Structure 1
């Protein structure tokens, strides 16, 4: 299958359903049913479900460009979470609900839990589905929420890979917006993008956007039952990049970047949220360190090549 035949219609679907105005409306507590029904009717929610269970049978690596598009457009619903949840539920012989499913791993607020109808916990092999009973984070216009009492630590690796892919999509869009702004905004008679200091920052931003994409690809190669090392590399790298990308984008944009009516903050707020979700870069650095120490007798070069 030519993946572009799936990517292009999915991109058009998101562009139609998830305009910045529609994203803001959902964040403000508006009705998200029309947006969600658009994804349900598209059939993309079953992209990761095995063909024998009625899905498209895509691997996570194949579906990664689709998930990255969700990050690129700051989609305010758990579409990626639901793709993964439906695949895990189908593999376990459990019928998935029609509504949005968030994944809760016990590491801080669960992304999109406040706009989900169900929460997935448990493990990849034994997924547990619960009705969403969520505590608000208290953050203005936040679609995340706390899901207390659920044990989803065993899902942390696959959820971390999902966040890494979402970060990579948002990072690319933030980079594009920042470069365009730097080339359009003039100061002292020339675009600020012509100033050497700004050019240097833009180069770092581009470098980090590529780093996030590579990290996400490393994670996605393991599929829905990931190697712990792959998940750790993916989330550690993407989370590190997310912090730098958001900081540089806001530095270049200045005060306009944090204004509610400007679209940049829709993406950078997601970058910071996904950076911390399902384990921050510090958490996953500790996991990587633990894996390394488990093989203390092996040379570091061999450990890296194996990872």
Structure 2
């Protein structure tokens, strides 16, 4: 039982209701929300005790990250936890994560961050959050303008992208949990042809698959977080591949069941389905991670069962 989850979840229920999420996405200040999160001490949950943090294992942090996705928290809370754990000295504000690439670098939560922790050429750089919005409705992601500044530390083994990938997996798992609950409740309330649509066999089949995907995402997050920081390539690739693959199906099923109301701005569903699509692509989609996992498997002489048992 995670003793930290209940107080963390209770805090998020108060701080991040849908109205607050919408307001921050529309450009209102997030300073009050961030101040309360900072005062709670949870931002230092991954920081070792000898540096003044809680020193919690990643396996316990996993549930907290899922809660962030479940409440659509519009700030880089998990990212800041990671940055504070990796760097000896961090500024107080929100910090997003990014891995520089040959093309444009999209940074989730970049618009609501003060700094971005970027990996490039095997080193970590902490840069100001400057760039252009991505242009997607409600998204607070940013196109990173440049990487200026001295390297602060060597990149962790396996790279920053692998750590970010298991964070996205946990966020997807949390959002999937909320989506499945919302969709099941709506199917039980919406009456068509004299009975709730949830009584229709075809829809029950869709809901069953949705529940399977939700549980798969939860297990994927646990796999990714089980080995601690930094995660193994196999754990990160498996986790993100499963979650990204399921994310698109989860969003599609939720909208199919809800029908027209699901795409309305006033309805909460889009707060979660938009995030599923963004987190699916962030830090590598299922295609990216499947290629890495496949190459790692083919380069290993062990049988598949032994590989899974030992690598994961």
Give the TM-score normalised by the residue count of structure 1. 0.93
- Cα deviation for residue 287 of structure 1 reads 0.6
Per the alignment, residue 276 of structure 2 pairs with 271
Query: What's the CA shift string for 1:138-195, capped at 9, x where partnerless?
Result: 1122101122444989210000000000000000000000000000000000000000
Q: Is the 8 A contact 1:84 1:224 kept in 2?
A: no
Relative to structure 2, which stretch is displaced further, 214-223 or 98-107? 98-107
1:135: how far off? 2.0
Determine whether 1:231 maps to 2:240: no
Query: How many residue pairs are counted as aligned between the two chains?
Result: 299
Pairs within 5 Å for 1:31-50: 31-50=29-48
TM-score, structure 2 normalization: 0.92
Larger mean CA deviation between 269-278 and 148-157 belongs to 148-157
Q: Distance in 1 between matches of 2:283 and 2:119?
A: 14
The reply to whether residue 257 of structure 1 matches residue 255 of structure 2 is no
Query: Residue 13 of structure 2: which of 8, 12, 15 is its match?
Result: 15
Are 2:294 and 1:300 aligned? Answer: no
Q: Which residue of 2 aligns with 1:99?
A: 93
Indicate the residue corresponding to 2:142 in structure 1.
Answer: 145
In structure 2, the partner of 1:79 is: 77
Residues in 2 aligned to 1:214 and 1:231: alpha-carbon distance in whole angstroms: 12
Q: Which residue of 2 aligns with 1:111?
A: 108
Cα deviations by residue, 1:36-59 (Å, 9 ceiling, x for unpaired) = 111011111001111111111001
**Residue segments in structure 2 that go unaligned for 5+ positions in a row:** none
Q: CA RMSD in A?
A: 1.7
The offset of 1:85, in angstroms, is 0.7
In 2, distance between residues paired with 1:224 and 1:300?
Answer: 25
Instruction: Give the secondary structure class of the aligned counterpart of 2:106.
Output: coil
Is the 1:106–1:278 Cα contact (8 Å) retained in structure 2? no
Q: Does 1:164 align with 2:205?
A: no
Aligned to 1:199: 204
Partner of 2:186: 181
| In 2: Cα distance, 1:40 partner to 1:127 partner | 23
Distance 2:100 2:72 in 1: 23
Q: Is the 8 A contact 1:171 1:209 kept in 2?
A: yes
What CA deviation, in whole Å up to 9, does each residue of 1:253-298 have, x standing for no partner?
A: 0011111100010001000100000000010000111101212x43
Would you say the 8 A contact 2:100–2:119 is kept in 1? no
Q: Is 1:131 aligned to residue 128 of structure 2?
A: yes
CA distances 1:208-234 after superposition (whole Å, capped 9, x unpaired) = 000000111100012221100100000
Q: What secondary structure sits across from 1:139 in the alignment?
A: coil
Cα deviations by residue, 1:39-86 (Å, 9 ceiling, x for unpaired): 011111001111111111001111111111100011110001001111
